[in-house]
């Protein structure tokens, strides 16, 4: 029997651009990721973007990417960049 892809874990980094600082984006990201069963870290970057690194089941990471592209009420996501992540991540979702 073949393994289901739903058990495959994926680690992914994201850079979110737009009106994403000062609007509760990091707290929303932490809550959304945790609700999807992901662990990771989110922080503001000096260039005005928010950076996120997560790991979890591939379908959950894909759902998270969809949520990130929309953002919370009050935010405006103008761009979402995905990239490979090899960052060491905590055992829960944290705001750095």
H helices of 1-96, in order, are 25-35, 58-70
CB 53 within 8 A of CB 93: no
Residue of 44, 45, 82, 92 marked active site: 44
Residue of 3, 9, 17, 26 marked active site: 26
Show the domains of the chain with their CATH numbers: 19-95 (3.30.70.100)
Strand 39-44 relative to strand 93-95, pairing: parallel
pLDDT digits (tens, 9 = 90+) for 7-66: 689 999 999 999 999 999 999 999 999 999 999 999 999 999 999 999 999 999 999 999
Active site residue 3: no
């Amino acid at each position: 029997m073949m393994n289901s892809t739903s058990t495959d874990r994926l680690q992914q980094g994201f850079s979110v651009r737009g009106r994403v600082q000062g609007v509760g984006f990091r707290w929303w990201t932490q809550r959304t990721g945790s609700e999807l069963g992901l662990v990771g870290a989110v922080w503001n970057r000096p260039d005005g973007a928010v950076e996120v690194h997560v790991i979890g089941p591939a379908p959950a990471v894909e759902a998270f990417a969809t949520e990130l592209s929309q953002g919370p009420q009050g935010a405006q996501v103008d761009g979402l960049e995905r990239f490979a992540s090899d960052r060491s991540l905590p055992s829960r979702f944290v705001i750095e």
